[in-house]
């Protein structure tokens, strides 16, 4: 890894105006046919992607990360529905001139991934879904309470509480992840503001209560599902249920890990994701 | 893969006498610190390992496959208990002068893997368990009936019935697997005889009814669990239960696949297994 280019630290933030909103994004990596586009978690911005993962994926393909409407350095009003977030992301992606891409959807981004492939099947080649759940997963009704509990903690403890397990090993991996997320010192993104956070919270909670409109059984695209053994937010069992409904999915669980499974095992994830995108 | 040595076709069958029994084995691959030893499925012999998997693993490490007591070209009386199969395998392995090894256990071999790591924790470094279930899995009570149903089919249909799903894609991968398993033309192994088969059937069935003596939660070794989406013999859900009990396991499910999940996706398996053995 030492000879890899540190795209995560060096890629400049770029902007493009779409439908009156200014979208912040970073585009980097080895030029290849199909880029992989990252869809970020609740409150996450350009700076919440793990550099090991960005650099690992970018060694073999073009990677694009972006702030969706109203998040981080992107302007506009954050929608409070996953479907609308999906449509606005597609407008941004099309504005970049991209006609087909692979999806890396983390948490909320994994919900958008499911909408994307149903509503825009020709735009998507393959999907990677990390730490997510199918539409209608009851556990998400408890999401506001879980976040409320998290908000009472210090920022570091909040990060560990959400993304890692209480074990010493997992917490130490969490601290290492935090260091990686703050390794980039220039041109950092703004944190999500309260308005964006409230809209996202509504969208995530309603993912659990909305009527199921996504027919997972009809999705023929290759999917790689990644989850931790102990994701309280999504309930880890939900990834198995997602796998069972999708006809062409590979599912992997990582040990002693929570919502941030791929933060905890970034090299394992890069190996799996790259092999999946290259060869599956 | 084209420049790899075809160990699966070329490795000679060797023999070693241990406790009065003559054990057939093949040993090949890149000399490395820790060999990986394959523990075979019900009725399986040296010739039932997928050449893509053997050659793929052997590109980076030493691989040993063997016929346990009374199976294939090995003499002696096949035990009818998984515990005894384990002890006899260990005697064979120690006779080869091996003091630590990685385990690749397929089906019945995945049961032996669980005994091995509990009874001989210092002999084992890492475990790969494919198409297996924890001790006490009720589904195994139905094993004789399932085999009875399989025996009414032609040999090709029997193989597809046990190891693949009824889908066209899975069946065609099954036919390709069969071709690979018969690619070796010289020095082939004898098939398992009826006495060995009956003993193995008793051991497998009792795996489902025996009192649980293996404390999975106490096993700290790294484990990679692989299973197909639709393994009727083991009940695919049992791999998730195995994962949940083991504190340091990675679990992967493959789509539209049955008991022969790693036959169906041999390249995916080699990538995962090699990364796990090298880096996890």
Q: Tell me the per-residue pLDDT of A153-178, one tens digit each, with 9 for 90 and over.
A: 999 999 999 999 999 999 999 999 99
Find all residues with CB under 8 Å of B52, minimum gap 6, and list them.
B1, B180, B266, B267, B270
Q: Are A251 and B247 inside 8 Å of each other by CB?
A: no
Q: d(Cα A169, Cα A177) in Å, to the nearest integer?
A: 12
């005697």: which residue's tokens?
A: B91
* Gap from B271 CA to chain A (nearest CA, Å): 8
For residue B55, how many C-alpha atoms fall within 13 Å in the half-sphere facing its CB? 18
Distances (CA, A) of B126 to A190, B38, B121, B218, B225: 44, 12, 10, 14, 11
Can you give the pLDDT at residue B4?
76
Residues in A closer than 8 angstroms to B244, CB to CB, are: 229
Q: Is B140 in the A-facing interface, judged by CB distances under 8 Å?
A: no
In this prediction the pTM is 0.97
Q: B147-168 pLDDT, tens per residue?
A: 999 999 999 999 999 999 999 9
Question: Coil, helix or strand for B101?
Answer: strand
**DSSP, residue by residue, chain A:** -TTS--HHHHPPPEEEEETTEEEEEEEEES--SS-EEEE--TT--GGGS-HHHHHHHHTTSEEEEEPPTTSTT--SPPPSSHHHHHHHHHHHHHHTT-S-EEEEEETHHHHHHHHHHHH-TTTEEEEEEES---TT-GGGGGHHHHHHHHHTS-HHHHHHHHHS-SSHHHHHHHHHHHHHHT---SSPPPPPPHHHHHHHHHHHHHHTTS-----GGG--S-EEEEEETT-TTT-THHHHHHHHH-TTEEEEEETT--TTHHHHSHHHHHHHHHHHHHH-
Q: d(Cα B271, Cα B232) in Å, to the nearest integer?
A: 26
| Phi-psi category of residue B218: left, alpha or beta, with phi > 0 → left and psi -120 to 50 → alpha | alpha
Q: Work out the percent of chain A whose per-residue pLDDT is above 70.
A: 99
Q: d(Cα B275, Cα B220) in Å, to the nearest integer?
A: 19
Residues in A closer than 8 angstroms to B279, CB to CB, are: 267-268, 271
Locate A75 and state its tokens. Answer: 């302007």
Residues in B closer than 8 angstroms to A268, CB to CB, are: 250, 275, 279-280
Q: Do residues A38 and A24 lie in contact, with contact meaning Cβ atoms separated by under 8 Å?
A: no
Can you give the pLDDT at residue A32?
81
Q: Are A256 and B247 inside 8 Å of each other by CB?
A: yes
Q: Are A229 and B250 inside 8 Å of each other by CB?
A: no
Q: Are B244 and A252 inside 8 Å of each other by CB?
A: no
Nearest residue to A206 (alpha-carbon basis) of A146, A132, A162, A141 = A141
Find all residues with CB under 8 Å of B142, minimum gap 6, and list them.
none
Locate A208 and state its tokens. Answer: 């659990």
Q: Do residues B49 and B64 lie in contact, with contact meaning Cβ atoms separated by under 8 Å?
A: no
Q: Are A255 and B250 inside 8 Å of each other by CB?
A: yes
């051991």: which residue's tokens?
A: B203
Residues in A closer than 8 angstroms to B272, CB to CB, are: 272, 275
Q: B79: which DSSP letter?
A: P
Locate B219 and state its tokens. Answer: 């096993």
All residue ranges of chain B with pLDDT < 50 are: 1-2
Q: A105-140 pLDDT, tens per residue?
A: 999 999 999 999 999 999 999 999 999 999 999 999
Q: d(Cα A173, Cα A260) in Å, to the nearest integer?
A: 10
Q: Are A271 and B268 inside 8 Å of each other by CB?
A: no
Q: d(Cα A18, Cα B172) in Å, to the nearest integer?
A: 47
Can you give the pLDDT at residue B5?
87
* Gap from A132 CA to chain B (nearest CA, Å): 16
Residues in A closer than 8 angstroms to B166, CB to CB, are: none
Q: A47-87 pLDDT, tens per residue?
A: 999 999 999 999 999 999 999 999 999 999 999 999 999 99
Residues in A closer than 8 angstroms to B271, CB to CB, are: 271, 275, 279
Could you say which of B240, B248, B255 has the minimum Cβ distance to residue A250? B255
Q: Is B10 in the A-facing interface, judged by CB distances under 8 Å?
A: no
Can you give the pLDDT at residue B214?
97
Question: Coil, helix or strand for B64?
Answer: strand
Q: d(Cα A8, Cα A26) in Å, to the nearest integer?
A: 9
* Gap from B249 CA to chain A (nearest CA, Å): 5
Q: Is A251 in the B-facing interface, judged by CB distances under 8 Å?
A: yes
As a residue count, chain B comes to: 280
Q: d(Cα B44, Cα B262) in Å, to the nearest integer?
A: 15
Q: Is B269 in the A-facing interface, judged by CB distances under 8 Å?
A: no
Q: Is B250 in the A-facing interface, judged by CB distances under 8 Å?
A: yes
Q: Is B254 in the A-facing interface, judged by CB distances under 8 Å?
A: yes
Q: Is B255 in the A-facing interface, judged by CB distances under 8 Å?
A: yes
Residues in A closer than 8 angstroms to B268, CB to CB, are: 250, 275, 279-280
Distances (CA, A) of B129 to A45, A180, B114, B268, B277: 38, 33, 9, 15, 13
CB pairs A-B closer than 8 Å: 57
Q: Is B253 in the A-facing interface, judged by CB distances under 8 Å?
A: yes
Sign of dihedral through CA atoms B21, B22, B28, B33? positive
Could you say which of A240, A248, A253 has the minimum Cβ distance to residue B250? A253
């309603």: which residue's tokens?
A: A206
Radius of gyration of chain B (CA): 17
Can you give the pLDDT at residue A162?
97
Q: What ipTM was predicted for this assembly? A: 0.96
Residues in B closer than 8 angstroms to A242, CB to CB, are: none
Q: Do residues A170 and A256 lie in contact, with contact meaning Cβ atoms separated by under 8 Å?
A: yes
Q: Is A249 in the B-facing interface, judged by CB distances under 8 Å?
A: yes
pLDDT band at A3 (very low <50, low <70, confident <90, very high): low
SS3 readout for B128-151: EEECCCCCCCHHHHHHHHHHHHHH
* Gap from A129 CA to chain B (nearest CA, Å): 14
Nearest residue to B93 (alpha-carbon basis) of B11, B34, B135, B133 = B34
């006490």: which residue's tokens?
A: B136
Q: Is A275 in the B-facing interface, judged by CB distances under 8 Å?
A: yes
């Amino acid at each position: 890894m030492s000879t890899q280019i540190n795209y995560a630290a060096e890629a400049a933030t770029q902007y493009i105006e779409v439908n009156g909103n200014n979208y912040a994004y970073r585009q980097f990596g080895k030029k290849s046919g199909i880029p992989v586009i990252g869809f970020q978690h609740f409150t996450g911005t350009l700076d919440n992607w793990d550099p090991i993962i960005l650099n690992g994926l970018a060694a073999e393909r073009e990677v694009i990360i972006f702030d969706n409407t109203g998040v981080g350095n992107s302007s506009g009003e954050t929608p409070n529905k996953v479907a609308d977030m999906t449509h606005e992301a597609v407008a941004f992606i099309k504005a970049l001139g991209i006609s087909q891409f692979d999806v890396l959807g983390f948490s909320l981004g994994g919900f958008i991934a499911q909408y994307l492939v149903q509503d825009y099947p020709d735009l998507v080649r393959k999907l990677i879904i990390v730490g997510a759940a199918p539409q209608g997963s009851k556990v998400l009704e408890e999401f506001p309470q879980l976040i409320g509990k998290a908000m009472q903690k210090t920022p570091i403890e909040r990060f560990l509480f959400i993304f890692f397990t209480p074990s010493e090993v997992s917490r130490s991996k969490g601290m290492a992840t935090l260091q990686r997320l703050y390794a980039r010192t220039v041109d950092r993104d703004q944190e999500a503001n309260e308005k964006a956070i409230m809209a996202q919270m509504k969208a995530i909670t309603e993912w659990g209560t909305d009527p199921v409109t996504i027919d997972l059984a009809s999705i023929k695209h290759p999917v790689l599902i990644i989850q931790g053994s102990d994701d309280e937010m999504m309930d880890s069992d939900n990834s198995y249920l997602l796998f069972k409904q999708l006809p062409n999915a590979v599912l992997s669980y990582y040990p002693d890990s929570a919502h941030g499974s791929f933060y905890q095992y970034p090299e394992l994830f890069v190996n799996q994701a790259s092999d999946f995108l290259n060869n599956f």
